[in-house]
Amino acid sequence: MELTRQQAREVKGRVPEVASVFADLLAERGPGLEPPAMAELLSAALDRVRKAPPPALPATATHAVEQRKKRFEYWFGTTILDIAPAHLTDAEAAEALCAHDPGLTTVQLAHDLACRRYAIDGDPGPLNAYFSGADVDSESLLPEEQIGKGRRLAHRLRVLHWEAGKRFLELAPAHLSDRAAARTLGQAFGLDPEGAEIVEKLAERRYAMTGDYRAIEEWEAEGRPRL
């Protein structure tokens, strides 16, 4: 039996493991299985490999992973994995994310899933499709290039907020309350702890802590982060 394209992507780089587990399950059940039973065994093998920790990586691959972990897309993907763990399929992950945030738009969902995939296995394909607009329905009123440009600009803004938030977390660690962080940042920058500039820094700090962009959106809309 062959893996579907979706199944192969879910266990990228671990197909030999799937084959080994499938062979073990097949040996347990014995010969002469009908196609439905074979498909059931393959599904069980896939599920077992998805949930098992990946094997240790060689030194060169470990370095590549460490470099990947420094990227915004990896960090954000890990926040999505807190909601939709790696053993879930893309469809199951989408359901989990929509249940967590019923207001999630189709575009936001595509971005979240692409970052999640990148955090899991470093596959840049979904991210490239997202940033190029290639994942958009062909009936869209806007061309792919224009959609992709808008997405890249919005993404860059998120990266800038994240980078700023990381710097503020170095000064005011995550264990501090917003009020204590405001005092700490106010002292560090010589600013009023209740002033607008500190409010902005608190919103970016919150974003770097949680990955929840609503902290930024509420600051932009109202001038104060969600407490």
The contacts of residue 26 (CB under 8 Å, 6+ apart) are 33, 38, 41
Rounded Cα distance, 44 and 59, in Å: 31
Q: Mean pLDDT throughout 121-125?
A: 85
The contacts of residue 68 (CB under 8 Å, 6+ apart) are 74, 118, 122
Q: Mean pLDDT throughout 7-11?
A: 62
Average pLDDT, the chain: 82
The contacts of residue 192 (CB under 8 Å, 6+ apart) are 186, 198
Q: Which two tokens stand for residue 70?
A: 């420094």
Q: Mean pLDDT throughout 164-172?
A: 94
How do the domains of the chain map onto residue ranges?
A: 5-51, 59-132, 156-222
Task: Annotate 145-208 with three-state secondary structure.
Answer: HHHHHHHHHHHHHHHHHHHHHHHHHHHCCCCCCHHHHHHHHHHHHCCCCCCHHHHHHHHHHHHH
Whether the per-residue pLDDT at 227 is higher than 50: the answer is no
Rounded Cα distance, 18 and 180, in Å: 51
Question: Could you tell me the pLDDT band of residue 59, with boundaries at 50, 70 and 90?
Answer: low
